[in-house]
Structure 1
Amino acid sequence: MVNPTRGVLYPARLPEFHRLPAPAAVADLVAWFWIPEWDIEPGLSSRQEVVAYPALNLVVDAEAVTLSGATTRLSHRDLRGKSWAVGALLRPAAVAALIDDPTALVDGGRALDARGGDVAELQGAVVAAMGSGDGHRDRAVEVFAGWLAERVGPVEEPARQANALMEILMGEGAALTPEEAAARLAVSVRTLQRMTHRHVGLSPGAMIRRRRLQEAAVRVREQPDVDLASIAADLGYADHAHLTRDFQAVLGLAPRTYRSESSR
């Protein structure tokens, strides 16, 4: 599994956070499950800032079941009180069963109707699992995975190809350009574009930029002795200035500033 803090800008500020592998039955549908739990003193809040993966998340909490779209900018959530959430980072194969047009959810989300039916059953089962003592996280993932497997059904070959696309754009040794990704999949760039819009809602180029920025943030934060020009070159940025522009555009601060703040 990838670095569990990848995408999280300030890991030291996280509440209790767990990233759990997807059970075998939903390995084609979910990259991993994630569960934050928090207990914030009354009157206080904890802001969590994230450069999210270019993917959809299905999230269950005590209030709602929400399908969140891919993002193109920095996102945050202010945590208050005592609560939790159980999220599934969805693989492309799961998306079609939940939404017809994921582009409609980019930088947004929508609550699924829980008034009766299977969504209410999912929420009730996860709420019960999270309140059940030791082993609650594993039980929450188990019931979540079972619901999703039944909702999506068998994974056909086109959906498997979409999953392969995600690995090529976001996995280890990821493609650096849409042209490289298309060549690895043996499809045209136009077909690649249609696949990413249908299953993620973003262009291939946007997904590549997001992965590169995530990795840059990890290296800037965790490798304080490595100069920024070297990080930029390793990740395919044209130069240090290109890296700085990407940071400024999405995160609103320069890499040097981020390195300084993340060390506090």
Structure 2
Amino acid sequence: MAERTDGRGVLYPTRLPSFHREPARDDLRAVVRWFWVPQWDLPPGRTSRQELLPFPASNLVVQQAGVTLSGPTTGASHRDLRGRGWAVGALLRPAGIARLQPDPRTIADDEVPFAAPELHDAVATAMRAAAMPSEGGMTGRDRALAAFAEWISGRLVPPDEDGLLANAMEEIISSDRSIVRVDQLAQRLGVSMRGVQRLARRRVDLAPLAIIRRYRLQEAAQRLREEPSLSIASVAAELGYADHAHLTADFRKVLGCAPRAYRESSRER
């Protein structure tokens, strides 16, 4: 499925540890976009820095130390991995985060503890057995994902109309590269520009233009990384940037480097 091959968000995929994405099952698709599972086992003294341009969304994450809820970020981020470890996360839809944190503004650019001991116990128990032979055709990772899905299904009630509208906003931005302005988004949703701005702030805690630009910048990084023969000007034009200079400015502001420098560094790593 597309979720398993979506390369957006990870700036240097070749540096990833073992990484798996699993689409949410049908009854959870309105609240969870997908689950993700990295696992790593690094030699003593070695650190692997994972550089990310996160999706404009929140994540509920189970790790060995506990459960955390992270909000949408306004820029790039990184995680330093050491030793042996794992994480099991759920990328939440706008309708899903509202059920766990009614005011996403309180966790923007932050990661906070989330009290869910039963979720942690179930996932951690399964992941500790992840290296063991499969049981009944299910690996430890499979059992961890199943436990996570069951926990969510028991706590996230079906989204309301406002949540579904926010999901539609996210889906349109994510899937349609021609959406580069807020007025285009408002027209597709059938609401006013002010209505879109309020919806995005209420459900994501990012301005709608910031959400649009995040997806387009993710796509630009992916194109630059995966299609070395494609000119930077062509990437800018395809993704709705006014010109090469605007894409470069976006790259420098968010990633701290120019598109050309990013393309070269992605080949080296």
Instruction: Give the TM interval when normalised to the shorter protein.
Output: over 0.9
- The 5 Å alignment of 1:93-108 reads 93-108=95-110
Instruction: Find the counterpart in structure 2 of residue 15 from structure 1.
Output: 17
Deviation at 1:175, TM superposition (A): 2.0
**Alignment check: 8 A CA contact 2:178 2:240 kept:** no
Change (3 A) 1:174 1:241: closer
Alignment check: 8 A CA contact 1:32 1:89 kept: yes
The offset of 1:193, in angstroms, is 1.2
Q: How does 1:140-155 map to 2 (within 5 A)?
A: 140-155=144-159
Give 1:124's aligned residue: 121
Identity, % of aligned positions: 52
1:178 maps onto 2:178 in alignment: no
Q: Which amino acid aligns with 1:205?
A: L
User: Which secondary structure state, in structure 1, belongs to the residue aligned with residue 200 of structure 2?
Assistant: helix
Partner of 1:204 in structure 2?
208
- State the Cα distance separating 1:172 from its structure 2 match: 4.0
Residue type at the aligned position of 1:254:
A
Q: Counterparts in 2 of 1:51-130, with a 5 A limit?
A: 51-113=53-115, 119-130=116-127
What root-mean-square deviation, in Å, do the aligned CA atoms of Structure 1 and Structure 2 show?
1.2
Letter in 1 for 2:113: A
CA 1:235–1:195: 2 relative to 1, 3 Å: same
1:105–1:8 CA distance, 2 compared to 1 (3 A): same
**For 1:73-100, what per-residue CA distance to the aligned partner results, in whole angstroms no more than 9, with x for missing partners?**
1100000010100010001111111112
Deviates more, 1:74-83 or 1:139-148: 139-148
Question: C-alpha separation between the residues in 2 aligned to 1:138 and 1:187?
Answer: 41
Matches within 5 A, 1:30-49: 30-49=32-51
Of 167-176 and 28-37, deviating more is 167-176
User: CA offset at residue 25 of structure 1?
Assistant: 2.2
Is the contact between residue 168 and residue 174 of structure 1 (CA under 8 Å) also seen in structure 2?
no
1:153-168 correspondence runs (5 A): 153-168=157-172
TM-score, length of structure 1 as denominator length: 0.95
Higher deviation after alignment, 153-162 or 37-46? 153-162
In structure 2, what residue type is equivalent to 1:190?
A: R
What letter corresponds to residue 146 of structure 1 in structure 2? E
Q: Which amino acid aligns with 2:49?
A: R
Runs of 4+ in 1 over 3 A off after TM superposition: none
Normalised by the size of structure 2, how large is the TM-score? 0.93
In structure 2, what is the equivalent of residue 228 of structure 1? 232
**Aligned partners of 1:144 and 1:173: how far apart in 2?**
32
Which residue is equivalent to 2:8? 6
Conserved? CA contact 1:9–1:51, under 8 Å: yes
Larger deviation, residues 101-110 vs 232-241:
101-110
1:119-168 Cα offsets, whole Å, 9 max, x none, are: 10000000011122331222111111111121112233322222111101
Structure 1 unaligned spans of 5+:
114-118
CA contact (8 A) 1:38 1:81 kept: yes
Of residues 124-133 and 152-161 in structure 1, the stretch that sits farther from structure 2 once superposed is: 152-161
The whole-number CA distance in structure 1 between the counterparts of 2:241 and 2:180 is: 10
Q: Give CA deviations for 1:159-193 in whole Å, capped at 9, x if unaligned.
A: 22221111012224462211111111111111111
Aligned to 1:219: 223
1:193-226 Cα shifts (integer Å, max 9, x gaps)? 1111111110100000100100000011111111
Q: Distance in 1 between matches of 2:103 and 2:236?
A: 34
Count of residues in Structure 1 that have an aligned counterpart in Structure 2: 259
Distance in 2 between residues matched to 1:4 and 1:154, nearest whole Å: 26
SS at match of 2:169: helix
Question: Which residue among 12, 24, 27 is the counterpart of 1:25?
Answer: 27
Q: 2:220 corresponds to which letter in structure 1?
A: A
